[in-house]
Structure 1
Amino acid sequence: MGQVIVSLAAMFASLTLFIAGTSLLTTVVAVELGVDGLSTLQVGLVLGCHSVGFVIGSLFATRLVRRVGQVRSFAAFAAVACSASLIHPLFFDGALWAVLRVLVGFCAAGLIMVLESWISGRATHATRGALLGIYQVVFFFAAALGQYLVSLGETDDYPIYTIVAILIVMSLVPLALTRSEAPAPDTADRLRFRQLYALSPSGLLGGIAGGALVAGFSTLAPVYASDIGMSLAEVSRYMAFAVLATMAIQWPIGRLSDHFDRRLTVAAISTIATLAGIAAAVVGAHDLRVLYVATAPLFGLAACLYPISLSMVNDNMDRGDPISASAGLLLAYGVGTCIGPVAGAVFMQGLGPAGLFVFLAGVFAVYSLFVFWRGFTTPSVPVADQSRFVTIVAANTSPAILELDPRHELYMETPHIFDELHAGPAPGVEPAESSTNADRPGV
């Protein structure tokens, strides 16, 4: 185990530098757009372009990586992302910045895919879970580090964008100097949205809602904080707190979802988050203590929706590779990330800064009501039959990291079982009475 971690130290170092750089850039761009005269809707549209670029990159960047190799494609993506970050302070133009956000998002998808496929390619049966845990810690640490760096310079000055460029381009160094062999990236098969909905309507909509909530908060919260009078250093501390609170909340929520009815759990946490959003909308601008206390469950529980939704989908999978379901839900999450910044900006433009939390509370409330309704109209999966909860960061990640999901192990070890299930019983053999969830409607 130790040798595997040491061999991947360069990958984790590259991941830390890159996530810190892009996290810093997102907050800096959000604050600068908010104070430079653009309407809130325009700000949301520009910020949402990063998600659009990321989704496009996750769908098409694999072709470039396969054509020219891991290290060369990583270098190309890093060069473009570095250049795009340095163009920001040269020309302030909303349309140009929107294009730059698409470019950075596309390159981010390619860079993350290379790093994650490298990490997952070295995983074994014994190390898969540990590597996924290390990945989560590194990701959250890097994101929080990027937020703390926001206070190092003014958002309208060149030095802060130079720091972003340095972090992004330096992420190339550990990977370029590693002696380990680069694995070829796999093209992940995805279940279609209608297939995911048939498995679990609550899971599919939870994935979309999770993307909208996480992207809406992470892109617009700096704008909100700046609008209510926070200094740049205070914005930095607030965003870093939100990231660290999310990391702290993931594990206990996962444990709860494993020991109680999963739909009841997700409905309960959505209700709690709704109340937190209302508190932040009403009092947050006037009392920072309330804002911080409300942010922890609000953003933390939003980040829990994707892994819980993924668990609900897996609860109802009786056959097939769970990675295809994970990849499909990750795409649904990506669709949500494109919606969140724009929808949140619409609420902020109509209701003022507090509109962000009204939007977040509204999404949680609608999803909670939907899950409660599903709970009354369809039977639940027994707790004993639920799949294991696995914490997976969906923000700025690619299907490559899904290979570390321990639920993939059964398929990897006994794929013939799934092939037989797909093929059906042999001719002349009566199918055995099943104890699976095949006849139960998706949760």
Structure 2
Amino acid sequence: MIKVLGTSWPLLAGVMLLMVGNGIQGSLLGIRGALEGFSTYQMSIVMAGYFLGFLGGSRLAPVLIQRVGHVRVFAALGSLISAVLVLYPVAPEVWSWTAMRILIGFCFSGVYVTAESWLNNASTNETRGQALSAYMIVQMIGIIASQVLLNVGDPSGFIPFILPSVLVSLAFLPILLSASPAPVFDTTQRMGFARLFAVSPLGCAGMLLTGGVYAAMMGMAGVWGMTVGLTVPEISIFVGAMYAGGLVLQFPVGWLSDRMDRRRLILLLSLAGAAVMLLASLVQTGFALLVVIAVLLGGIVNPIYALLIAHTNDFLPKEEMAGASAGLLFLNGLGAVVGPLATGWMMDMLGPSGFFAFIALLLGALGLYVGWRMTRRETPPGAPGYHPIAPTASAIAVEAVMERGSDG
């Protein structure tokens, strides 16, 4: 690990600063939108914009990189991110914010593709697993740290928007000034959805559902917090607790997944998550219990995402893993676009409890589908194939994880 940090620290330091800038977006806009008088459903449209842009960026960013190179794409997209972050308070209008969220989602998608291909290229077969683990840990730490910025300055002013813009600008210094050369970028032949579904119906359905869950959690948590009357510090703790849960529980869940049928673990986690979310939607809880719920939610959803990738990996020959990764990410992105919109609609219909009720519905549906699939297919051969990975990762990291998993 020391060798990995020694060679990759500029990239990892830059990624951490980027995640601070990206992580503050959802919570800050949820708070500022309420202060501007946006309705819950209007905010759901704004939040969905990021995931729409991210989905588009995952398809177009590789084309841009091949055309003009890593460095130019990295610098251009970084400049746009920094600019958009300070433009939010200048134009506090629903469609302006939606357009900016689409643009910033596109840019972050391209940045992740660039950074992850750079990291993948700089690693050897022996160090790639450690490098990816360090990358995911840095991402989580950056997002958790970003919530602290919510408490710096008045959310009705400019300072909370200026600080992440400055951090994003600074993030590119260690990366662009690094002596490490940019890698050659090769696109991968994509696997058709019919073939991917035939290989792993659970992987496809699970990615679609978890995309909706993750986007609802991270896109609408700030909106929900303002609706129920949480203070800004309380919202920052609540959102940070979800990411902290994902960071802490990834590894014990991964240890279990390599020692039992992954489907059974997905079943247990999804049903447990659905039960916790249903309880949260029906019972009024104090803030301390809300934090516990947030830790459990993040600790369940993030490992399920990695488990679905590992499960799909169990049925694929190594040469098809790269193509499958792009298809899985696209399905996850589709679910993510719908997640905030459906959450906003349910919050309009049911009140604030609709936030937890929607997540409970998707996790319950995943649990039922897993249970049904377990009756249709035998347990795949057990093999160590779980590697921690966050839903924010691009197809580059997912592809590397899947290929790494095939090597044990």
Per the normalisation by structure 2, the TM-score is 0.95
Aligned partner of 2:229 in structure 1 is 229
C-alpha change, 1:409 and 1:333, in structure 2 (3 Å) is closer
Question: Given that residues 310 and 405 in structure 2 are in contact (C-alpha distance below 8 angstroms), is that contact kept between their aligned partners in structure 1?
Answer: no
Q: By how many angstroms is 1:409 displaced?
A: 7.6
- 1:346 and 2:345 are equivalent in the alignment: yes
Q: Does 1:9 align with 2:15?
A: no
Task: Give the deviation of 1:403 after TM superposition.
Answer: 4.8
Which stretch has the larger CA shift, 310-319 or 42-51?
310-319
Pick closer, same or farther for the CA change 1:245–1:70 going to 2, 3 Å: same
Report the counterpart of residue 301 of structure 1 in structure 2.
300
Q: Which amino acid aligns with 1:390?
A: H
Tell me the amino acid that sits aligned with residue 184 of structure 2: A
- Equivalent residue letter for 2:341: V
Aligned to 1:401: 397
Give the C-alpha shift of residue 4 in structure 1.
Answer: 4.3
- Alpha-carbon deviation of 1:394? 2.2
Gap regions ≥5 residues in structure 2: none
Counterpart residue number, 2:389: 392
**Greater C-alpha Rg:** 1
Structure 2 counterpart of 1:52: 52
Checking the alignment, whether the CA contact within 8 Å between 2:269 and 2:300 is kept in structure 1 is: yes
Deviates more, 1:299-308 or 1:350-359: 299-308
Question: In structure 2, how many angstroms separate the alpha carbons of the residues matched to 1:33 and 1:401?
Answer: 33
Q: What TM-score, normalized to structure 1?
A: 0.88
Distance 1:94 1:2, change over 3 A: same
Q: Is the 8 A contact 1:186 1:400 kept in 2?
A: no
Output aligned runs, 1:263-412, within 5 Å: 263-283=263-283, 285-318=284-317, 320-382=319-381, 384=382, 386=383, 388-395=385-392, 397-405=393-401, 407-408=403-404
Contact 1:279 1:290 (C-alpha < 8 Å) held by counterparts = no
CA deviations on 1:282-319 (whole Å, 9 max, x unpaired) are: 23x54123222222222321122221111121111246
* C-alpha distance after superposition, 1:147-184 (max 9, x if no partner): 12111122221111101210111111111211111102
1:41 aligns with 2:41: yes
1:387 Cα offset (Å) = 5.1
Match of residue 125 from structure 1: 125
Give the drift of 1:100. 0.3
What is the CA-CA distance between 1:59 and the residue it aligns to?
0.5
4+ long deviations beyond 3 Å: 1-4, 406-411
2:69 corresponds in structure 1 to 69
- The one-letter code matched in structure 1 to 2:332 is Y
Instruction: Give the 5 Å matches for 1:404-443.
Output: 404-405=400-401, 407-408=403-404
Correspondences of 1:166-205 after superposition (within 5 Å)? 166-205=166-205
The residue type paired with residue 242 of structure 2 is A
Name the CA shift for 1:406/1:215 in 2 (closer, same or farther; >3 Å): closer
Q: Structure 1 pair 355/250, CA: closer, same or farther in 2 (3 Å)? A: same
Q: CA separation in 2, counterparts of 1:202 and 1:169?
A: 40
2-structure distance, mates of 1:260, 1:9: 35
Change (3 A) 1:375 1:207: same
Code of the residue aligned with 1:164 in structure 2: it is P
Give the Cα–Cα distance (whole angstroms) in 2 for the partners of residues 33 and 406 of structure 1: 39
Rounded to whole Å, the distance in 2 between the matches of 1:229 and 1:248 is 28
Are the aligned partners of 1:279 and 1:294 in contact in 2 as well (CA < 8 Å)? no
Amino acid at match of 1:287: G
How many pairs does the alignment contain? 408
Residue of structure 2 in register with 1:27 after alignment = 27
Q: Which residue of 2 aligns with 1:427?
A: none
Q: Give unpaired runs (5+ residues) of structure 1.
A: 412-443
User: Equivalents in 2 of 1:86, 1:28: separation in Å?
Assistant: 12
